[in-house]
Structure 1
Amino acid sequence: MAEAAAAPAVRAAVGDSEFDRDTAVTRRGPGVYDIDLSAGWSILGAVNGGYLLAVLGRALGDALPHADPFTVSAHYLTASRPGPAVVRTETVRTGRTLSTGQASLFQYDDEGNEVERIRVLASYGDLDALPGDVRTSAEPPAIPPAEQCFGPEDGPDPLDGVSAITERLRLRLDPATLGWALGKPSGRGEMRAWFGLADGRDADPFSLLLAVDALPPTAFELGLKGWVPTVELTVHVRCRPAPGPLRVSITTRNLAGGFLEEDAEVWDSADRLVAQSRQLARVRLG
Structure 2
Amino acid sequence: MAEAVTIGDSEFDRDTAVALREPGVYDAELSAGWTIIRAVNGGYLLALLGRALGEALPHPDPLAVSAHYLTASQPGPAVIRTQTVRSGRTMSTGQASLFQRDEDGGEVERIRVLATYGDLDRLPDDVRTSAKPPAIPPREHCFGPSDGPAPIPGSSAITDRLDIKLDPATLGWALGAPSGKGEMRAWFGLADGRDPDPLSLLLAVDALPPTAFELGLEGWTPTVELTVHIRCRPAPGPLRVSITTRNLAGGFLEEDADVWDSADRLVAQSRQLAMAPRG
| TM-score normalized with structure 1 length | 0.95
**1:144-169 deviation line (CA, Å, top 9, x unaligned):** 0000000011013549x951000000
Deviation at 1:283, TM superposition (A): 1.1
Is it true that 1:53 corresponds to 2:81 in the alignment?
no
Listed as ranges, the gaps of 5+ residues in structure 1 are 1-7
Across the two proteins, how many residue pairs are aligned to each other?
278
Is it true that 1:225 corresponds to 2:225 in the alignment?
no
User: What is the alpha-carbon root mean square deviation over aligned residues?
Assistant: 1.2
Is it true that 1:71 corresponds to 2:67 in the alignment?
no
Look up the equivalent residue of 2:113 and give its one-letter code.
V
Is it true that 1:131 corresponds to 2:124 in the alignment?
yes
Report if aligned partners of 1:100, 1:121 keep a CA contact under 8 Å in 2. yes
Give the distance between the partners of 1:251 and 1:274, measured in 2 at CA: 17
Look up the equivalent residue of 1:256 and give its one-letter code.
A
Report if aligned partners of 1:45, 1:162 keep a CA contact under 8 Å in 2. no
**Residue of structure 2 in register with 1:3 after alignment:** none
Is it true that 1:183 corresponds to 2:176 in the alignment?
yes
**Residue of structure 2 in register with 1:148 after alignment:** 141
SS of equivalent to 1:138: coil
Give the distance between the partners of 1:72 and 1:52, measured in 2 at CA: 12
Identity of aligned residues (%): 81
Which of 252, 265, 276 is residue 245 of structure 2 equivalent to? 252
SS of equivalent to 1:53: helix
Give the distance between the partners of 2:83 and 2:218, measured in 1 at CA: 38
Report if aligned partners of 2:212, 2:277 keep a CA contact under 8 Å in 1. no
**Residue of structure 1 in register with 2:198 after alignment:** 205
Deviation at 1:285, TM superposition (A): 3.8
Listed as ranges, the gaps of 5+ residues in structure 2 are none
**1:14-68 deviation line (CA, Å, top 9, x unaligned):** 0110000000000001000001100000000000000000000000000000010
Q: Which runs of 4+ in 1 moved over 4 A?
A: none
Is it true that 1:97 corresponds to 2:90 in the alignment?
yes
**1:112-136 deviation line (CA, Å, top 9, x unaligned):** 1100000000000000000100000
Give the distance between the partners of 2:2 and 2:126, measured in 1 at CA: 36
Deviation at 1:277, TM superposition (A): 0.1
Look up the equivalent residue of 2:132 and give its one-letter code.
E
Give the distance between the partners of 1:55 and 1:9, measured in 2 at CA: 26
Give the distance between the partners of 1:86 and 1:285, measured in 2 at CA: 32
Give the distance between the partners of 1:82 and 1:19, measured in 2 at CA: 15
SS of equivalent to 1:199: coil
**Residue of structure 2 in register with 1:62 after alignment:** 55
SS of equivalent to 1:100: strand
Give the distance between the partners of 2:53 and 2:100, measured in 1 at CA: 18
